[in-house]
Amino acid sequence: MKRVLEIHGLSKQFGNQAILQDLSLTIKEGDIYGLIGKNGAGKTTLIKIITQLLFADKGTVSLFSNKEQNEWTKALSQVGSVIESPVAHNHLTAYQNLKYYCMIRHIPNADKVIHETLDYVGLSDTGKKVFRDFSLGMKQRLGIAIALLSKPDFLILDEPINGLDPIGIKEFRLMIQRLNQEKGITILISSHILSELYLLANRFGILDQGKIIREISKAEFETLSEDY
């Protein structure tokens, strides 16, 4: 199976505080990979390094088998992400937000792409409602829609179910499963909500005190306690 992401010996420090320490993980094509960790474990820092919003102090990151800086940057064109919270314009509708991102990314056939994407994430009937008036679940779905515009092969979602109600969580889960099964997108999801990650992911990495202390399959996950 092709490896979408390989990380070896990754370390990151802010001042005297070590956030990531000699971290290694592997994500294979077709995975829904659940990154498990308490708040402050380093999940967001790791995701920012993968997407080049931060740079590691040590270690290597290989994205689609590309390790060199120029190749890695190019490989990021195959990646969509929603980090911390969706980035959208408060005064624009869902359609207008996607239109804006299509324009700055030079995406052809924008209207067709926008309508297909809004329909896929369940936002095709939001009409003139603007982003600031969206529910949290709608905002998350719009963030994913923006990430999907470039038709990524790898989708990275940072704590995407935080604050969602049970209905919103179920809708999110079904959407992620569709993206993985129908579009073949490899997905990395970070969360501390273990019960939901269990329903979504087929592989898991347990992040504790800046290290991946274990990578396990879904079957192995069943035997673990929920202390993480």
Looking at residue 145, its pLDDT comes to 94
* Number of CB atoms found within 10 A of residue 5's CB: 23
Q: How would DSSP label each residue in 60-104?
A: EEEETTB-SHHHHHHHGGGEEEE-SS----TTSBHHHHHHHHHHH
Per-position pLDDT tens, the chain of length 228:
789 999 999 999 999 999 999 999 999 999 999 999 988 889 999 999 999 999 999 999 999 987 666 677 778 889 999 998 888 999 999 999 999 999 999 999 999 999 999 999 999 989 899 999 999 889 999 999 999 999 999 999 998 888 788 888 888 899 999 999 999 999 999 998 888 888 999 999 999 989 999 999 888 877 764 544
Contacts of 4 (CB under 8 A, 6+ apart): 27, 28, 29, 31, 63, 64, 153, 154, 186
Flag whether 136 is in a domain.
no
Looking at residue 103, its pLDDT comes to 94
CATH for 72: 3.40.50.300
Domain residues for 71?
3-87+151-221
Helix (H) or strand (E) holding 209: none
Looking at residue 220, its pLDDT comes to 82
At 38, the amino acid letter reads K
Q: How many domains does the chain contain in total?
A: 1
Helix (H) or strand (E) holding 11: strand 3-14
Flag whether 110 is in a domain.
no
Flag whether 50 is in a domain.
yes
